[in-house]
Amino acid sequence: MDVKFIFNMLNLKLAEKPGLTYKVLCLGAHSDDIEIGCGGTILKLVEKYPSIEFYWIVFSSSLEREKEAICSGNKFLANVAQKQIIVRDFRDGFLPFIAIEVKEVFEQLKQKLNPDLIFTHYRHDAHQDHRLICDLTWNTFRNHLILEYEIPKYDGDLANPNFFVPLERSVCQQKIKYLIDSFRSQKDKQWFTEETFLSILRIRGIESNAPDKYAEAFYVRKMVF
């Protein structure tokens, strides 16, 4: 049976308790993955929960891409007081072949973090780096709410998500502006356009009957009410 969860529309939201701080872990194989996959949701969480904490880690980058990732992360988390943005320099496209080193990073994360919410890649993503990060996420964090985000690409691996976060158009525009402005190294790629990012948000908005027509979508394997 297919079940769809819609964040906010069905009131599936983090409990609002005075003095309670939520910790969010964002994991991305490459420098722009987190922003593409869940940037709008992050902006919405930051707006809704002023005391929220973020731990943001990117696994693969060059020197140029590292600068872009840090710039972008600071834009998305501009209003977050407690945040850590870490960019590693593992080789792009080779993460499965250096899985031991990547696994060590996850082991370190497990020792220092107990997040309330984790964003990671989709389990059946066609990119090998993405799949490894997802596998290690589930291998490391076994008692956490994990939302798997999607990345549109040439491989055509988008599937049928079951968790949706409705977004206002203004949030979508902000997300896309941060992406385009931050990742100048990607501007010559035919898919890295405002049209691409807005299109997927609109499609997921249709599927979730989002009030303002746009949404980000995720894949949830386990959820406990």
pTM of the full structure: 0.93
Q: What pLDDT, in 10s, does the model give residues 97-153? A: 999 999 999 999 999 999 999 999 999 999 999 999 999 999 999 999 999 999 999
Domains of the chain, each with CATH number or no CATH:
20-219 (3.40.50.10320)
| Structural contact between residues 117 and 145, judged by C-beta atoms closer than 8 angstroms | yes
Say what the pLDDT of residue 13 is. Answer: 63
What is the rounded CA–CA span in Å between residue 189 and residue 175? 18
Say what the pLDDT of residue 8 is. Answer: 46
Is residue 95's pLDDT more than 90?
Answer: yes
Say what the pLDDT of residue 50 is. Answer: 85
Report residue 1's pLDDT band, with 50, 70 and 90 as the boundaries: very low
Q: What pLDDT, in 10s, does the model give residues 9-22? A: 445 566 665 667 89
Calculate mean pLDDT across residues 29-50.
Answer: 96
What is the rounded CA–CA span in Å between residue 45 and residue 93? 31
DSSP letters along the chain, please? ----EETTTT-------TT---EEEEEESSTTHHHHHHHHHHHHHHHH-TT-EEEEEEEE--HHHHHHHHHHHHHHTTT-SEEEEEEEEEPTT-GGGGHHHHHHHHHHHHHH---SEEEEE-TT-SSHHHHHHHHHHHHH-SSSEEEEE----TT-------EEEEE-HHHHHHHHHHHHHH-GGGTTSTT-SHHHHHHHHHHHHHHHT-TTSEEEEEE-S----
Q: What pLDDT, in 10s, does the model give residues 161-217? A: 999 999 999 999 999 999 999 999 999 999 999 999 999 999 999 999 999 999 999
